[in-house]
Amino acid sequence: MVVDKIYEQLKDFDNRLSKSKFSREYLSKDRNYWFVCRYNNTDISNNALLSLYGNLRRYSDIWLEMSEDVSTRNGAHYKKRQRFMSGLADEVLEEIERRATGNLS
């Protein structure tokens, strides 16, 4: 499932990220939502997937804005984070398109 892959990549990026924080901050759901989905061996809902996409785009935009702030000395570092978040959002968008077209293979 794409959400597992996204979580692992985010976890590598921020080792303090927990499954409950991921559920709240990225999926915009209750802290136990993703745990329950995994326990029941079900994929996240379309609504949660859209939230994940929107939140990744929002974080990408924040990093981009920070990278363009001329008072910041870490512009290249922030730009790298922006590209990372944007890449994850693109992966989620592919999953959204796959679900929308019914291409479930």
Model pLDDT, residue 67 = 86
Check whether 73 has a pLDDT greater than 80. no
Percent of the chain with pLDDT over 70: 96
Model pLDDT, residue 47 = 97
Number of separate domains in the chain: 1
Read off the pLDDT of residues 47-68 as tens digits, 9 standing for 90 and up.
999 999 999 999 999 999 988 8
Model pLDDT, residue 104 = 61
* Domain region containing 20: 2-101
DSSP 31: T
Distance (Å, rounded) from C-alpha 9 to C-alpha 13? 6
**pTM for the structure as a whole:** 0.90
